[in-house]
Chains A and B, each alone.
Chain A
Amino acid sequence: SQTIHQWPATLVQPVGSPLSLECTVEGTSNPNLYWYRQAAGRGLQLLFYSVGIGQISSEVPQNLSASRPQDRQFILSSKKLLLSDSGFYLCAWSGGEGQPQHFGDGTRLSIL
């Protein structure tokens, strides 16, 4: 069966520090991969999605970036975090366009 792993579960970082969140999927090949951010009590905002290695689409201009160095690995990064980057970050995968998405357990990021 397919599983998705996202870590760390919680992270506290100072303003201006770098960020690297990792997400890996097991049990499937060539998945579509997604990064979302969820503000408290709100819906999800799509940040990036990828349909293949090295293929990244960005939905929102920001100081975050994403990379897909391997088929089942998706990384969310920042060189310098802002206070506004605080939130709940969720990684998800799907079998392709029009398919249900399957989410990791999220990373709660707090910026001090």
Chain B
Amino acid sequence: SQQGEEDPQALSIQEGENATMNCSYKTSINNLQWYRQNSGRGLVHLILIRSNEREKHSGRLRVTLDTSKKSSSLLITASRAADTASYFCATDNNNDMRFGAGTRLTVKP
């Protein structure tokens, strides 16, 4: 069963704008991970944030984690058309990985 719930389900922005996606979960976690999926392909790991971390950066990606609110956000800055994809959060608790339904991001050139 799914645990992470992404919000919004779909997001459409112009190239150059920032995109923010949110993820909420229900149970305790060891870490939370964000993945990207291009249509019809496998998922690609983007970033992992551990339960004792609050913020993490990787290039144009910024992830925050608030364990008190059981939520995380993924910010993509200065978006590009190539960022168009579905983005999933996944909670990890002792080898039990649970994925959300994803946010479909469209970046218009």
Residues of A at under 8 Å CB distance from B?
A: 6, 32, 34, 36, 41-46, 49, 51, 88, 90, 92, 97-98, 100-106, 108
Contacts and interface: CB of A to CB of B under 8 A. Distances in A.
Contacts of B90: 44, 101
A83 B41 CA distance: 22
Interface of B: 1-2, 4, 30-31, 33, 35, 40-45, 48, 50, 88, 90, 92, 94-102
Contacts of B42: 6, 90, 92, 103-106
A103 B43 contact: yes
A104 B43 CA distance: 8
A46 B98 CA distance: 7
Contacts of A32: 95
A43 B95 contact: no
B97 A46 contact: yes
A5 B95 CA distance: 22
Given A106-B41, A106-B42, 6 more contacts: A43-B99, A44-B88, A98-B92, A101-B33, A105-B41, A105-B42
7 contacts: A44-B43, A44-B99, A45-B1, A98-B92, A101-B35, A102-B45, A104-B42
Contacts of B35: 101
Contacts of B88: 43-44
A106 to B, nearest CB: 5
Contacts of B102: 42-43
B95 to A, nearest CB: 5
